[in-house]
Structure 1
Amino acid sequence: MAENPTVKLGVLISGAGTNLQAIIDAILRGDLRAEIRLVISNRAGAQGLERARRHGIETMVIDHRKFTSREDFDRAILAALLDRSVELVALAGFMRLLSPVMLEAFPGRIMNIHNSLLPSFPGIHGPKEAIEYGVKIAGCTVFFVTAGVDVGPVIVQAAVPVLPGDDEQRLAARILLQEHRIFPHAIALFQQGRLEIQGRRVIIKGDSATPNSPPLVNPPVDRFEN
């Protein structure tokens, strides 16, 4: 049986690009059959651009401040992606909301990563709000982008315990390590043809999870068992 072809990626960033690096590393390890056709940043000084260049990946800066509308900005991004035959768009720390221009051009083909267990704590302060709310388990989510803020169908999630003494920076750093694991994994599931969107749900074909999969309990139950 023939393998699914390599997926052609476009990656949008605004900053350090650590999730971009995680995707690049997964490709280099052979864990992900993908080719990054283009990395676009809305900020010229984004560190992620240099990460891409070190690996010979084409980069482009499209400054959102030079456009009079969000739609015009998205049209410029869309034209660059289509010109390079991009099939899947990965938002790796891209700090702009997408308009229907992009959403309608790539339905079910735009992934984002967020540092909370959605639908809890959408927006830009997931770890901070998790600590303030007093939750015991935080985490991160890869989802398909739809209209709205962090409301699309969930693909993969990873849970991280909130530890005594955690502040926003400590918790965010531990969550980020899991982001680096699950974003390439979600892209690999797409490349393998295993994702199917049914309403708000993403069905993963061949999912190996079982009722016996261990839960994450925080604080651990065994601390209190005799």
Structure 2
Amino acid sequence: MSKTVDKAQCVIAVDIGGTRLRAASVTEYGEIRHLKQRKTLPRRYVQAIISDINGLIEEQERYSHERGFTVRGIGIISPGYPDVDGRVSITPNIPCLTNVPIKNYLKKDPAVPVLFENDGNAGAYGEYIFGQKKKVRHLVVLTLGTGLGSGVVADGKIARGTEGVSGELGHVTLNPDGPQCLCGKSGCLESYFSGFALVQSAKTLLKDSRHLVGYKNNIEAITPETIAEKARGGDRI
């Protein structure tokens, strides 16, 4: 008697970041396949970002189906704490998405479920399941991107707290007189440790410097990538 072999399964993962969108097909073993990305940029229109999200999902669906995978769900992560419809009340790094019910605008198979989660929480739980599960029951993960996110796993579960924001470290005040954060407050941890903070510090140092020549005399051309490139080339600033 022949044994029935289950069809390979995967989920589509979408990461909505302050600088770029990423999407990939992820197998049940945690293998990341067909990673693609598009720019987000805070000043873009919401319609353009939604269109890119749909485009990335459609591309991943096509990739998965062509390779015999059954798509069992779509997971979408973002800064802030999205509700079941993907609506986030405060998104300082992507202000155009504030209070937008992303789920309502997705073009997908209605039979495929969609789950929204905070990016820091997703990173922490992913590390727990595919990285440290056999070693620890509690862990903290920091996610460094345009902003600074974090997630806490306690006793094998995401720690959410009574208001759902437990473990959010990015907007803890480090110095009340510190630099202004994108959230509007001053001295948040994110205003010191993030891609945004790195660029702001570089702009301050280079404002009156001959080193700006290396950035084509355009201070707005400074990005975390160009800073890293200059550092690898020996630029001490």
TM-score scaled by length of structure 1: 0.30
When Rg is computed on C-alpha atoms for both structures, the one with the higher figure is 2
> RCO higher in 1 or 2 (8 Å CA, sep ≥ 6)?
1
TM-score scaled by length of structure 2: 0.29
